[in-house]
Amino acid sequence: MSKHAWIEPGAFEVAPGVHRIPLPLPMDGLRAVNVYAVEDGDGLVLIDSGWALDEARKQLEKALDDIGFGLEQVHRFLVTHLHRDHYTMAVVLRKLFGAKVSLGIGEQPTLNAILNGEGERHLADLVRWGAADLADELRGAYRGQDAAESLRLYDQPDEWLEGTTDIALHERVLRAVPTPGHTNGHVVYVDAAEQLMFAGDHVLPHITPSIGFETARAELPLGDYLDSLRLVRSFPDMRLLPAHGPVAPSVHHRVDELLQHHEDRLGATLAAVQGGEHTAREVAEKLGWTSRQRAYKDLNLFDRILAVGETNAHLDVLVVRGELASSLVDGVLQYEVVRPAAAGR
């Protein structure tokens, strides 16, 4: 089976009463987002909703029709996080059909910033990471966009999920578990009886999720992410139902790979600073990107922004671990190796 077979449109029953529905995305990097339709009483609960695009909505309607449901029978959206490929279709469909939308409370600061028209606040982060050129390029790209159109896609949820919360549906209980890291308010939904984890972007089978790509970024997003990986590793093993990629048999197996990946990246990041690089941007230029180890300069704008943010997240964890020290020089964060004092002198 081809690596991308999972993006084929349709509704695929992956567990009794649980259907995986891949929906299209406008940028081809991620290819598609999985929405999971869970049969519940006489209707459906959707985990994640897709990006509010006409084509995605048509595919969702068709897939639901294939399993005998209409959009109006979706009575609830349980969303894993605020990114538009997960949240925005829920907002649009709620206006038409009145479904209830739930989201983790850690997304509140970023959502409020977007609704207050401060979505560009993260440009300041790029400057601190030594990538003012990316901030300028991005500002140029935003200029072409209709801000009102972008705002139309966002609104408050009906319910903020706070802490670990058991959500009783008609025929099953889903436990919402906060897993900050990919975003500050990311949650996964666990069906313990069926041994399923609806993992959103927290654990993905083929790629590593971006870390802290959001307007109101956490202090230490990679530290949060590693803690959240260890948290789900402490649960009994379950099947992995990810938002991007095919269903996989073991959450534990993939979490172990992701933890190892980040230890390797932390090692490479430290080596780059030891080699004389000082800013997140300089270090990003020394590292390979994506599974194909592409050079930073060959990445598109969006991926360069993710790369620099990702590098900053790793540098900051090395600071917390005592390997590096950081200081702000002319508005740019500079990282230095902390040399252990020589013994006996």
Query: In the complex with Zn ion, which residue's Cβ is closer, 47 or 266?
Result: 47
Residue whose beta carbon is closest to Zn ion: 201
Residue 158: both structure tokens together: 């009906």
Q: Report the nearest approach of Zn ion to the CB of residue 86 (Å).
A: 6
Residue 281: both structure tokens together: 């941007």
With a CB cutoff of 8 Å and minimum separation 6, the contacts of 70 are 61, 64
Q: Report the nearest approach of Zn ion to the CB of residue 12 (Å).
A: 19
Q: Report the nearest approach of Zn ion to the CB of residue 156 (Å).
A: 21
Query: In the complex with Zn ion, which residue's Cβ is closer, 83 or 239?
Result: 83
- Answer positive or negative: Cα dihedral of 244, 245, 251, 257: negative
Q: How many residues bind Zn ion (CB under 5 A)?
A: 2
Site for Zn ion in 184-203 (CB under 5 A): 201
Query: In the complex with Zn ion, which residue's Cβ is closer, 130 or 205?
Result: 205
Residue 29: both structure tokens together: 């990097």
DSSP annotation of 7: G
Could you tell me if 130 and 279 are in contact, meaning their C-beta atoms sit under 8 angstroms apart? yes
Run of H or E including 32:
strand 32-40
Q: Report the nearest approach of Zn ion to the CB of residue 110 (Å).
A: 15
Phi and psi at residue 83, to the nearest 5°: -50, 145
Query: In the complex with Zn ion, which residue's Cβ is closer, 35 or 283?
Result: 35
Q: How far apart are CA 325 and CA 207, in angstroms?
A: 30
From its phi and psi, is residue 293 left (phi > 0), alpha (psi between -120 and 50) or beta? left
Q: Report the nearest approach of Zn ion to the CB of residue 321 (Å).
A: 28
Q: Select from 108, 96, 88, 84 the least CA-distant residue to 159.
A: 108
Query: In the complex with Zn ion, which residue's Cβ is closer, 82 or 222?
Result: 82
Q: How far apart are CA 253 and CA 237, in angstroms?
A: 9
Q: Report the nearest approach of Zn ion to the CB of residue 48 (Å).
A: 8
Site for Zn ion in 199-228 (CB under 5 A): 201
Q: CA torsion, points 312, 316, 318, 321, in degrees to nearest 10?
A: -170
Q: Report the nearest approach of Zn ion to the CB of residue 224 (Å).
A: 17
Site for Zn ion in 259-298 (CB under 5 A): none
Query: In the complex with Zn ion, which residue's Cβ is closer, 85 or 285?
Result: 85
Q: How far apart are CA 280 and CA 333, in angstroms?
A: 8
Q: Select from 261, 273, 290 the least CA-distant residue to 334.
A: 273
Query: In the complex with Zn ion, which residue's Cβ is closer, 201 or 303?
Result: 201
Three-class SS state of 71: helix
Query: In the complex with Zn ion, which residue's Cβ is closer, 85 or 277?
Result: 85
Q: Report the nearest approach of Zn ion to the CB of residue 339 (Å).
A: 40
E strands within 159-313? 159-161, 165-168, 173-178, 187-191, 196-200, 239-242
Q: Report the nearest approach of Zn ion to the CB of residue 45 (Å).
A: 19
Query: In the complex with Zn ion, which residue's Cβ is closer, 153 or 268?
Result: 153
Site for Zn ion in 63-92 (CB under 5 A): 85
Q: Select from 200, 244, 194, 242 the least CA-distant residue to 39.
A: 194
Contact positions vs Zn ion (CB under 5 A) = 85, 201
